[in-house]
Amino acid sequence: MPKLRFVVLGVALLTASIAGAQTTYRWVDKATKQTVYSDQPPPPGTQGVVKIGGDDRGNEQPLPYATRQAAEKFPVTLYTAADCLESCNQSRELLNSRGIPFTEKMLKTDQETVELGKKLGGEAFIPSLFVGQQSFKGFESSAWNNLLDLAGYPKSAPYGARPSGVFAK
């Protein structure tokens, strides 16, 4: 009887590991505006598809719970430009040193600069930081840290954290 238990346990663990390796897809259905999770790929032409699991599992870096919560409620966007060197590098370094996942938008056209100015309520500054709906024009580490602290982001990156942003790879 004890051998049978080990066999059943072994089969259960093997089944769970196979099921865990399955790829799941997430996207927003245009018709219903609801998020869809499926083990089948979405219809062709669907935009915003996120692939979860499968072969990509090893490439994903799990974020600490506090970071995931803050990023969900207060996503961070860094606005930079090609001619911004020192202050933009300092900006990236500050965000990466805290382990903050962020999106970097490099402004390439005058229209993009005008749109940033409207979002900031006046003139566009490079670099600029958005944490949720809050923003700060120009790089000032104490002000940026204050915004990030208020959003609940950690003060330092966890061990082995990978950098974010345009030049992260």
- The domain that contains 83 carries what CATH number? 3.40.30.10
Whether 8 shows a pLDDT value over 70: the answer reads no
Band of residue 149 on the pLDDT scale cut at 50, 70, 90: very high
- Both 30 and 101 in one domain: the answer is no
148-165 burial code (b ≥16 CB/10 A, e <16): beebebbeebeeebebbb
With a pLDDT cut of 70, the percent of the chain lying above it is 79
For residue 83, the model assigns a pLDDT of: 92
For residue 139, the model assigns a pLDDT of: 95
For residue 169, the model assigns a pLDDT of: 46
Mean pLDDT score, 143-159? 92
CB 99 within 8 A of CB 168: no
Write down the residue that tokens 């996503």 correspond to: 75
- CA 162/CA 92 separation, integer angstroms: 12
Write down the residue that tokens 């942003």 correspond to: 165
Number of separate domains in the chain: 2
Mean pLDDT score, 22-43? 79
Mean pLDDT score, 110-130? 92
- Both 81 and 141 in one domain: the answer is yes
- Both 146 and 84 in one domain: the answer is yes
Compute φ and ψ for 53, nearest 5 degrees. Answer: 85, -155
Q: Domain range holding 29?
A: 23-60
Residue 158 inside a domain? The answer is no
Compute φ and ψ for 164, nearest 5 degrees. Answer: -110, 180
For residue 104, the model assigns a pLDDT of: 93
- Name the token pair of 98: 């805290």
Residue type, 33: K
- CA 7/CA 3 separation, integer angstroms: 6
Residue 161 inside a domain? The answer is no
State the pTM of this model: 0.62
- Both 43 and 72 in one domain: the answer is no
The closest of 12, 43, 16 to 27, measured between CA atoms, is 43
| Least confident stretch, 40-49, 92-101, 116-125, 146-155 | 40-49
Residue 84 inside a domain? The answer is yes
CB 152 within 8 A of CB 69: yes
SS3 13: helix
Task: Give the CA count within 13 Å in the CB-facing half-sphere of 29.
Answer: 8
pLDDT in tens, 36-87: 777 778 888 888 888 877 554 444 557 888 888 999 999 999 999 989 999 9
Mean pLDDT score, 114-130? 92
- Both 146 and 71 in one domain: the answer is yes
For residue 1, the model assigns a pLDDT of: 57
